[in-house]
Amino acid sequence: MDGPVPGTPSLLRAINDRAALRALLDRGPLTRPEIGALTGLSKPTASQLLARLQEAGLVVLDGVREGLPGRTAEVYRINPAAAYAGALDVTPDRIEARIADLTGAVVGEHTLPTTRRRPAGELVERLGAALAGANPPDKLRRVVIGVQAAIDPATGRLGYAAAKDVPGWQIPDLVPTLSAGLGVPVDVENNVNLVALAEQAHGAARDSRDFVLLWADEGIGSAVVLGGRMHRGATGGAGEVGYMPTPGAPTAREAGRYANHGYQALTGGPAVLKLLRSYGVRGADFRQAVANAVRLAAGTGQRADDARAGLRDIAARLAVGLAAITSVIDPGLIVLTGGVVLPGGETLRELVEHELHALTIPRPRVRLSSVEGNPVLAGALDLALDTVREEVFGSTVRS
C-alpha cells in the first residue's frame, strides 16, 4: 500500500511526523522538549519521532542549547537540503526563475531574456535553461510555471491567449509534455492566480477568504478566491475579465476574439496612456504617466485640475468592470495591483473605491497589493513548496 492505514499505529506516526515537521517549519529550530510540548507527545514518543525524521533526512541537529546549570538540550531543525522546488514566470520578453529549499529560503535566481520570434520547438529548452541558470543545488522535486494564459482542465491545452503571445505553448497534453522534457513534475498556472496566492499568503488578502484581485497592466486580468480557495472555472478561465464586454469598448464581435476589446480596451496600459495624454499628462509609458498624474494632482492650477480629472477618469473606468465583478462575486475585498494602479498609490486607490461604491450595493474594501518583488514568482514558489512539503512530510511512514 502507498500510505498509512486509518486506525493503525502507522497513521498516528504519520500524523505526529507532520505535526513536528510543521512546528519546525513555522517556528524554526526547536529542542525535543519544545517539540513534545507543541505536539503533545511524550518524551519517549518525541525521541522516537526525531530519530525517525533524522533517518529520513528531514531533520538535522542544529547544535546544543544551554539551560539550567549542568543541563543542555539538543536543537533540531528542518534539513533545508531535503528537497528543492522551482518557480518560473514566463512572459514574451523574459523567463524569471527562482529556486528554494524545503524551508522556503531562496537559493538561486536567474532571468533569461527571450524573444517573441523564437521557434516553438525551443520551449522546453528555454524553460530548462532558465532553471539551470538559477543553479539548483540538487534535483528539483516540483516546478510551477506562471503564464499569461490558463490551462483548460478538460483538454489540457492552454487557452485565453493568442498563439502569437505564447509561442510554443499551444500543444496537447502540455503539462505531461513539459514534465517529461524538464525531468521534473510541473504545474502550469495562470500568472494572475499566482499573484492572488501570494497576496493570500503574504499580502493584503492574508485574512480574507473571499476576495478578488485585479491585475491592471498592459492587459487586464483578475483572480477569484472563494472560501479560501482559488476558483478556476469550467475551462480554467475564471477571472479572465480583460475580454469582458464593457460599455464604451468594442466587443469580440467587432474586434476579433483575442483582439483588443472589452474591459482591457478601456483600462489596459495603452488605453490609460492615451487617456492621460488627452488630459495633458505625459510619460514614456503608462506607468510613468500615472505616476506623473499623481504628482501633478498634488499641486495647484490648471495642470493639477487636469491631472485629477484624468485620474478620476481612470478610476471610473476601472470601477465599471469591478462593479460587474462585485455584483456576481460579492467579495469582501478587492486587491489592486499591476503597472496601471500601483504607480497611482493611495490617490488612485481611493478614487477607485469611491467610484466603485457609487455603483454597487455591496461595498467591498479596496486595497493595494503589498507583496514586494515579483508576485508571480512568489505565488508560484509558494504553490510548488506546498506540494513538495505535502509529499515529503508524508514520506516518513510506509506500511
pLDDT for 255 equals 82
Give the pLDDT of residue 67.
64
**pLDDT recorded at residue 69:** 56
- CATH code 1.10.10.10 region(s) in the chain: 9-79
**What per-residue confidence (pLDDT) applies to 248?**
87
What pLDDT is recorded for position 163?
64
Residues 234-251, mean pLDDT to the nearest whole number: 91
Instruction: Evaluate if residue 5 carries a pLDDT over 50.
Output: no
- Which of the pair, 311 or 396, is modelled with greater confidence? 311
Query: Higher pLDDT residue, 13 or 164?
Result: 13
pLDDT tens digits for range 374-393: 999 999 999 999 999 999 98
pLDDT tens, residue by residue, 109-151: 999 998 755 554 589 999 999 999 999 999 999 999 999 998 8
Cell of 189: 498556472
Per-residue pLDDT tens for 185-223? 999 999 999 999 999 999 999 989 999 999 999 999 999
Q: 206-370, which class in CATH?
A: alpha beta
The overall average pLDDT reported for the chain is 91
36 contacts 46 by C-beta, under 8 angstroms: yes
Give me the pLDDT at residue 156, please: 86
The structure's pTM equals 0.91
> Distances in Å between the alpha carbon of 288 and those of 274, 276, 295?
13, 11, 10
**pLDDT of the residue at 21:** 93
Fold of 84-193+376-393: Nucleotidyltransferase; domain 5 (3.30.420)
pLDDT value of residue 257: 77
Inform me whether the pLDDT recorded for 366 exceeds 80.
yes
pLDDT tens for 6-43 read 556 777 888 889 999 999 999 999 999 999 999 898 88
Q: In the chain, which segments carry CATH 3.30.420.40?
A: 84-193+376-393, 206-370
* CATH architecture of structural domain 9-79: Orthogonal Bundle (1.10)
